[in-house]
Chain A
Amino acid sequence: MAHDARDRLNDFALKVGTVNGTGSASANSLLLQALFRMGIPVSGKNVFPSNIQGLPTWYEIRVNRDGYTARSPDFHLIVAMNPQSYERDIDEVLSGGWVLYDSTKELDDEILRDDVTFLGIPLARMCAERFERARERILMKNIGYVGALVALLDIEMDVVKGMLEEKFSHKPSLIDSNFTAIRMGADYAREHWDCPLPIRVRRMDATGDHVMVTGNAATALGCVYAGATVGAWYPITPATSVMDGFKEWCQRFRVDPDTGKHDYCIVQAEDELAAAGMVIGANWMGARAFTPTSGAGISLMSEFIGLAYYAEVPSVFVDVQRTGPSTGMPTRTQQGDLLLTAYASHGDTKHIALYPANPNECFEFAVAAFDLAERFQTPVFLLSDLDIGMNDWMIPKLEWDDDYRPDRGKVLTAEELEEAKSFYRYLDVDGDGVPYRTLPGAHPKGAYFTRGSGHDKYGKYTEDSDAYLEVVDRIARKIQSAAEHVPEPEVHAVDGGARHGIVSIGGCHWAVMEARDELLAEGVEIDYLRVRGFPFGEAVVRFLEEHDTVFVVEQNRDGQLRMLLSMETGCPRAKLIPVRYYGGQPLSKGHVLDAVRPALRAVLTEIAS
Chain B
Amino acid sequence: MTYIAKPVARHPRMRTNALGLTPRDYEGTMSTLCAGCGHDSVTAALVQAFFELDVEPHRVAKLSGIGCSSKTPAYFVKEAHGFNSVHGRMPSIATGANAANRDLLYVGISGDGDSLSIGLGQLCHAIRRNVDMVYVLENNGVYGLTKGQFSASADLGSRSKYGEENRQGPIDPVSLALSLGATFVARSFSGDKHQLVPILKAGMKHRGFALVDVISPCVTFNDHKGSTKSYAHTRFHMQEVVETDFVPLRREIKADYDEGAVRTVKMHDGSEVRFRKVAADYNPTDRGTVLEYLRASREKGEVATGLLFLEENGLDMHAVENTVDTPLVDLPFVKLCPGSTKLEELQNEWR
B70 CB, nearest partner CB in chain A, Å: 10
CB of B331 within 8 Å of the partner chain: yes
Contact of A274 among B83, B92, B104 (CB under 8 A): B92
A303 at the binding interface (Cβ < 8 Å): yes
Residue of B nearest to A315 (CB): B96
Residue B324 at the A interface, CB < 8 A?
Answer: yes
Instruction: Please tell me if the beta carbons of A400 and B3 are within 8 angstroms of each other in the complex.
Output: no
Q: Which of A304, A405, A461, A462 gathers most chain B CB within 10 Å?
A: A461
B146 within 8 Å of A (CB atoms): no
Chain A residues with CB under 8 Å of B3's CB are 460-462
Q: Which residues of B contact A (CB under 8 A)?
A: 1-3, 57-59, 61, 73-74, 78-86, 89, 91-101, 103-104, 121-122, 124-125, 129, 317-318, 321-325, 328-329, 331, 333, 335-340, 342-344, 346-347, 350-351
- A451 and B1 form a contact (CB under 8 A): yes
A289 and B100 contacting across the interface, CB-CB below 8 Å: yes
The answer to whether B84 and A450 touch across the interface, beta carbons within 8 angstroms, is yes
- Since A263-B335, A286-B101 are in contact, a sample of 4 more A-B pairs with Cβ atoms closer than 8 Å, ordered by chain A residue number, is A262-B324, A277-B89, A285-B97, A440-B80
Q: Is the beta-carbon distance between B100 and A211 smaller than 8 angstroms?
A: no
Q: How far is the CB of A415 from chain B (nearest CB, A)?
A: 15
**Cα–Cα distance between A307 and B324 once the two chains are bound (Å):** 30
CB–CB A230/B81 < 8 A: no
CB of B338 within 8 A of CB of A253, answer: yes
Shortest CB distance B78–A (Å): 7
Whether the Cβ atoms of B350 and A264 lie closer than 8 Å is: no
Q: B325, A274: Cβ atoms under 8 Å?
A: no
The chain B residue sitting closest to A228, CB to CB, is B336
Binding site for B on A (CB under 8 A): 36-37, 210-213, 221, 224-230, 232, 249, 252-254, 256, 259-267, 269-271, 273-287, 289, 303-304, 307, 397-402, 404-406, 438-444, 446-453, 460-463
Q: Closest chain A residue to B328 by CB distance?
A: A229
Inter-subunit contact B86/A304 (CB<8 Å): yes
Q: Hey, which chain B residues are within 8 Å of A405, CB to CB?
A: 333
Judging by beta carbons under 8 Å apart, are A450 and B100 in contact?
no
CA distance A191 to B323 in the complex (A): 60
Inter-subunit contact B343/A227 (CB<8 Å): no
- CB-based contact A285/B100 at 8 Å: yes
Contact of A303 among B82, B86, B122, B336 (CB under 8 A): B86
Contacts of A277 in B (CB 8 A): 85, 89, 91-93, 95-96, 122
Q: What are 17 sample pairs from A and B whose C-beta atoms fall under 8 A apart?
A: A36-B351, A224-B337, A256-B324, A263-B323, A264-B328, A266-B321, A274-B91, A276-B92, A278-B93, A284-B96, A285-B100, A287-B329, A303-B86, A444-B58, A446-B58, A449-B73, A452-B85
Complex interface: chain A residues within 8 A of B124 (CB): 270
Kindly identify which residue among B92, B104, B333 contacts A269, using a CB–CB cutoff of 8 Å: B92
Q: Is the interface of B mostly helix, strand, loop or mixed?
A: helix
A441 and B104 within 8 A (CB): yes
B80 touches A304 (CB 8 A): no
In whole angstroms, how far apart are the Cα atoms of A266 and B346 in the complex?
Answer: 22
Contact of A265 among B1, B57, B323 (CB under 8 A): B323
B89 touches A304 (CB 8 A): yes
Most chain B CB atoms below 10 A, which of A266, A282, A441: A441
Specify the chain A residue showing the minimal Cβ separation from B128.
A270
Bound-complex Cα distance A303 to B122 (A): 15
Is the pair B86, A440 in contact by a Cβ cutoff of 8 Å?
Answer: no
Verify B333–A212 contact, CB threshold 8 A.
Answer: no
Q: In whole angstroms, how far apart are the Cα atoms of A442 and B324 in the complex?
A: 20
**Cβ of B79 and Cβ of A398 under 8 Å apart?**
no
Question: Given the complex of chains A and B, what is the CA–CA distance between A274 and B333 in angstroms?
Answer: 27
In the bound complex, residues from chain A placing their C-beta under 8 Å from that of B100 are: 229-230, 265, 281-283, 285-287, 289
Cβ-closest chain A residue relative to B84: A451
Report the bound CA distance from A283 to B83 in whole Å: 12
**B96/A441 in contact, CB under 8 A:** no
* A271 in contact with B121 (CB, 8 Å): yes
Contact B58 A443 (CB under 8 A): yes
What residues of A have a CB within 8 angstroms of the CB of B99 in the complex? 230, 232, 265, 267, 278, 281-282, 287, 289
7 smallest CB-CB distances across A and B, nearest first, come from A277-B92, A281-B96, A278-B96, A287-B100, A440-B81, A281-B97, A211-B350
Q: Which residues of A contact B125 (CB under 8 A)?
A: 269-270, 274
Contacting pair A212 B351 (CB below 8 A)? yes
B351: chain A residues at CB < 8 Å are 36-37, 210-212
Cα A221 to Cα B324 with chains together (Å)? 21
User: In whole angstroms, how far apart are the Cα atoms of A398 and B346 in the complex?
Assistant: 10
Contact A274 B82 (CB under 8 A): no
User: When the two chains form their complex, are residues B93 and A399 in contact, meaning their CB atoms are under 8 A apart?
Assistant: no
The smallest beta-carbon distance between A207 and chain B, in angstroms, is 8
Which residue in A265, A283, A287, A448 is a CB contact (below 8 Å) of B318?
A: A265
A253 to B329, CA, bound (A): 17
Which A residue sits closest to B90, measured CB to CB? Answer: A277
Which residues on A sit within 8 Å (CB–CB) of B342? Answer: 253
Q: Is the beta-carbon distance between A440 and B324 smaller than 8 angstroms?
A: no
Q: A340 vs B119: C-alpha distance in the bound complex, in angstroms?
A: 25
CA distance A462 to B1 in the complex (A): 8
| CB <8 Å contact, A267 and B81 | no
| A365 CB to nearest B CB, Å | 16
Q: How far is the CA of A440 from the CA of B98 in the complex (A)?
A: 11
Question: Which residues of the partner chain A approach B89 to less than 8 Å between Cβ atoms?
Answer: 273-274, 277, 303-304
A261, A307, A461, A463: the one within 8 Å of B323 (CB): A261
Distance, CA A100 to CA B94, complexed state (A): 57
What separation, in Å, do the CA atoms of A266 and B328 have in the docked complex? 12
Inside 8 A of A443's CB, which chain B residues have their CB? Answer: 58
Closest-by-CB residue of A relative to B99 is A265
Q: Which residue of A lies closest to B28 (CB)?
A: A449
The answer on a CB contact under 8 Å between A441 and B84 is no
Q: How far is the CA of A264 from the CA of B83 in the complex (A)?
A: 23
Contact (Cβ within 8 A) A452 B1:
no
Among B74, B81, B84, B321, chain A packs the most CB atoms within 10 A around the CB of: B81
Q: How far is the CB of B111 from chain A (nearest CB, A)?
A: 16
CB distance from B119 to the nearest CB of A (A): 10
Q: B121 and A270: CB pair below 8 A?
A: yes
Complex: how many Å from CA A249 to CA B346?
A: 9
CB pair A406 B333 closer than 8 Å: yes
Q: Which of B73, B93, B325 contacts A284 (CB 8 A)?
A: B93
Assuming the A-B contacts A259-B324, A261-B324, A401-B340, are A441 and B1 also in contact, with contact meaning beta carbons closer than 8 angstroms in the complex?
Answer: no
CB distance from B332 to the nearest CB of A (A): 9
Given A261-B323, A443-B58, A254 and B336 touching (CB < 8 A)?
A: yes
In the complex, A249 Cα to B73 Cα: how many Å?
A: 39
Instruction: Report chain B residues within 8 Å CB of A460.
Output: 3
Contact in complex: A440, B97 (CB < 8 Å): yes
A212 touches B96 (CB 8 A): no
In the complex, chain B residues whose CB is within 8 Å of the CB of A213:
347, 350
Is B322 within 8 A of A453, CB to CB? no
A450 touches B83 (CB 8 A): yes
Contact call B343/A282, Cβ cutoff below 8 A: no
Query: Whole-angstrom distance from the CB of B97 to the nearest CB of chain A?
Result: 4
